[in-house]
C-alpha cells in the first residue's frame, strides 16, 4: 500500500526505537525448510497480461519454473470496493470482501488450478493480506460498524488522510479480530495457499499477528512476510520482513548520495537487530517502488544490474517483481489497466543465473542455512564493497564497484590469497594482498573459491 511521506516519517520515528532491542530476545516460528534457499516473485495479476486474469497468468508458470522461481506472492486477489474508488479499477488494497475472489481475475476454479499447478512445480503461493483496513462497501461497514475506527463525531475514518478509499479497522474489537483470522483460515483450508504477505503490518497490533500465526499454523505450516521492519513482529508472527533500509541505501548510492561503506555499515549493524534465522527480503523494485518512485532504470541508471546481483549474494531472500525479467521500463499505473510488455525477456537469463548461483552455493542460502557477510578491508572502501560468505566447504567472494567511476584498490588483509572462478565468465582469478586491481563503473565480480 502506498504511504504518504508524513506517514512514513511517523512510522520510522515510532519504530526506530525498536532497533535498540538485542537479537537474543527475538524468537521465530519454524517455517518450511524448503525456503532455506528460496527466492520470491511478486505477481501483479492485473497488469501481467492483456486479459489481467489468473488463467492468463498461469500460462507463464512454465517460464517461471524454468527461471527458478520458488515463492509466488500474489498481490490482493479480492473484490475491490466501488465506493470512493481511485482510478477506473481501484486499489487492490481496498478490499470489498475477504472471502471472495475478484471476478475480474477469474473464477475460484481458476485459482484452485493455479495453486495446484504451482504446487506441482514445487512453488509456494502466498496471498497479499490487507488487515489494517477495508474498502468502504465491505459488508463489515454496515453489519459491524463497531469494527471500525471512528472520529469524535462518530464517523468512520481512513487509516491515513490520503487513503480516502479505505476505512480503518479497530483492533480493540475482539469479534473483528476473530473474523479476520477466520477469513485468513478460509484461504488455507479451501484453496491450500501457503501463507501471507501482510500489508502495512506495523499498523496492526503485534499481539494480533502473534495470535493469528498460532491459529494459522494449526491449519498448516505457513510462511509469513511482513511489510515492515518492526523487530517484535518477528518474535512469533513472521518469518520474513522487508529490508527497507537496504533498499533505500542502494537507491542513495545510485544517486551518489551514499557510498559502498554505507552498505558495509548496514550489513554489520543489521544482525544486531535481527537474529540470523530471520529472513530479510532484499529488492530493487516492488509494486509501490515501481508505480510511485520509478523504475529501476530511473532510480538506478546504469547500476540496476549490479544492485540486483547484490540482492542475491548478500544475506537475505531476493525478490523479483513482475516484469523485471522483461526489463520493465515503465511505471505501471496503480489504479488503472497498464499491461507489462513481455516481448523482450532481456533480463530473464540474468535472473535465472542468479537463482542458480544461490541454489548451488550453500553460503548464499537464507537465514541460518547460509552465512553472514564477512567484509574484507580494501584501500578504497568508498567505492569498493567486498565481502565473503562461507558455509562448510563453500566460499563466495563478492567484489563490487558501487560508483559511476573506475575504481582502483588493493586488499589490505595479509593472509588473503586465494584462487577463485568468476561465476559469470568462468575465468580463473588469483586474489593476492597488496596487488592493485581495478573495476569499471558499477562492475562486479562474484567469485567461487576453487578447492
The last residue of one of the domains, among 323, 344, 369, is 369
Q: Are residues 316 and 390 in the same domain?
A: no
Question: pLDDT digits over 213-247, tens only?
Answer: 999 999 999 999 999 999 999 999 999 999 999 99
Give 120's contacts (C-beta < 8 A, 6+ positions apart): none
β-pair type (428-431, 317-321): unpaired
pLDDT interval class at 31 (50, 70, 90): low
- Residue 444, C-alpha cell as written in the block: 562486479
Q: Are residues 243 and 386 in the same domain?
A: no
Full residue range of the structural domain in which residue 85 is found: 26-369
Whichever domain contains 380, its CATH number is 2.60.40.1180
Cα distances from 212 to residues 73, 180, 238, 441, 446, in angstroms, run 19, 9, 10, 48, 41
Q: Are residues 295 and 386 in the same domain?
A: no
User: Is residue 21, in this structure, part of any structural domain at all?
Assistant: no
Whichever domain contains 272, its CATH number is 3.20.20.80
pTM of structure: 0.93
Q: Are residues 142 and 291 in the same domain?
A: yes
Cα distances from 84 to residues 7, 152, 157, 161, in angstroms, run 21, 22, 12, 13
Q: Are residues 289 and 384 in the same domain?
A: no
Question: Which stretch of DSSP H or E encloses residue 328?
Answer: none
The last residue of one of the domains, among 353, 369, 385, is 369
pLDDT interval class at 18 (50, 70, 90): very low
pLDDT of 27 over the 50 cut: no
3-class secondary structure, 15: helix
The last residue of one of the domains, among 319, 337, 369, is 369
3-class secondary structure, 126: strand
- Residue 214, C-alpha cell as written in the block: 498460532
pLDDT of 330 over the 80 cut: yes
Q: What is the DSSP letter of 148?
A: B
Q: Are residues 330 and 380 in the same domain?
A: no
pLDDT interval class at 277 (50, 70, 90): confident
pLDDT of 10 over the 70 cut: no
Q: Are residues 318 and 414 in the same domain?
A: no
3-state secondary structure 217-236: HHHCCCEEEECCCCHHHHCC
Tallying the residues shown for the chain, one arrives at 451
> Distance (Å, rounded) from C-alpha 354 to C-alpha 366?
14
Averaged pLDDT for residues 152-173: 97
> Distance (Å, rounded) from C-alpha 112 to C-alpha 123?
14
User: Is residue 15, in this structure, part of any structural domain at all?
Assistant: no
Averaged pLDDT for residues 117-139: 98
Mean pLDDT of the chain: 92
Q: Are residues 327 and 442 in the same domain?
A: no
User: Is residue 380, in this structure, part of any structural domain at all?
Assistant: yes
Number of domains the chain contains: 2
Amino acid at each position: 500500500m502506498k504511504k504518504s511521506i508524513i506517514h512514513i516519517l511517523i512510522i520510522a520515528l515510532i519504530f526506530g526505537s525498536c532497533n535498540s532491542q538485542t537479537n537474543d530476545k527475538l524468537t521465530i516460528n519454524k517455517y518450511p525448510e524448503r525456503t532455506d534457499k528460496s527466492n520470491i516473485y511478486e505477481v501483479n495479476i492485473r497488469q501481467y497480461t492483456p486479459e489481467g486474469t489468473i488463467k492468463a497468468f498461469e500460462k507463464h508458470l512454465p517460464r517461471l519454473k524454468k527461471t527458478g522461481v520458488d515463492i509466488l506472492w500474489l498481490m490482493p486477489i479480492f473484490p475491490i470496493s466501488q465506493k470512493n474508488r481511485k482510478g477506473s479499477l481501484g486499489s487492490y488494497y481496498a478490499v470489498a470482501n475477504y472471502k471472495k475472489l475478484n471476478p475480474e481475475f477469474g473464477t475460484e476454479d481458476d485459482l484452485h488450478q493455479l495453486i495446484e499447478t504451482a504446487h506441482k512445480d514445487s512453488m509456494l503461493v502466498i496471498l497479499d493480506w490487507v488487515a489494517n483496513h477495508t474498502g468502504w462497501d465491505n459488508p463489515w461497514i454496515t453489519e459491524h460498524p463497531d469494527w471500525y475506527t471512528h472520529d469524535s463525531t462518530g464517523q468512520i475514518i481512513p487509516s491515513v488522510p490520503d487513503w480516502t478509499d479505505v476505512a480503518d479497522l479497530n483492533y480493540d474489537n475482539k469479534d473483528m479480530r476473530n473474523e479476520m483470522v477466520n477469513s485468513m483460515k478460509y484461504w488455507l483450508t479451501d484453496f491450500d495457499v501457503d501463507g501471507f504477505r501482510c500489508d502495512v503490518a506495523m499498523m496492526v497490533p503485534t499481539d494480533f499477528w502473534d495470535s493469528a500465526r498460532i491459529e494459522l499454523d494449526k491449519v498448516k505450516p505457513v510462511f509469513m512476510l511482513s511489510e515492515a521492519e518492526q523487530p517484535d513482529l518477528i518474535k512469533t508472527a513472521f518469518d520474513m520482513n522487508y529490508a527497507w533500509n537496504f533498499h533505500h541505501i542502494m537507491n542513495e548510492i545510485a544517486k551518489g548520495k551514499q557510498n559502498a561503506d554505507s552498505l558495509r555499515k548496514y550489513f554489520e549493524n543489521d544482525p544486531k537487530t535481527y537474529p540470523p534465522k530471520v529472513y530479510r527480503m532484499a529488492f530493487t523494485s516492488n509494486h509501490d517502488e515501481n508505480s510511485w518512485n520509478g523504475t529501476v532504470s530511473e532510480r538506478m541508471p546504469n547500476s540496476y544490474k549490479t544492485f540486483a546481483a547484490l540482492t542475491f549474494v548478500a544475506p537475505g531472500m531476493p525478490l523479483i517483481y513482475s516484469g523485471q525479467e522483461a526489463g520493465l521500463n515503465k511505471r505501471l499505473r496503480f489504479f488503472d489497466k497498464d499491461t507489462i510488455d513481455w516481448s523482450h525477456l532481456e533480463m530473464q537469463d540474468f535472473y535465472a543465473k542468479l537463482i542458480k548461483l544461490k541454489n548451488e552455493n550453500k553460503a548464499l542460502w537464507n537465514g541460518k542455512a547460509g552465512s553472514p557477510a564477512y567484509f574484507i578491508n580494501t584501500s578504497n572502501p568508498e567505492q569498493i564493497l567486498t565481502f565473503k560468505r562461507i558455509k562448510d566447504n563453500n566460499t563466495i567472494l563478492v567484489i563490487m564497484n558501487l560508483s559511476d567511476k573506475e575504481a582502483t584498490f588493493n586488499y589490505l588483509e595479509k593472509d588473503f590469497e586465494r584462487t577463485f572462478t568468476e561465476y559469470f565468465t568462468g575465468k580463473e582469478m588469483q586474489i593476492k594482498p597488496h596487488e592493485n586491481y581495478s573495476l569499471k563503473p558499477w562492475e562486479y565480480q562474484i567469485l567461487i573459491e576453487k578447492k
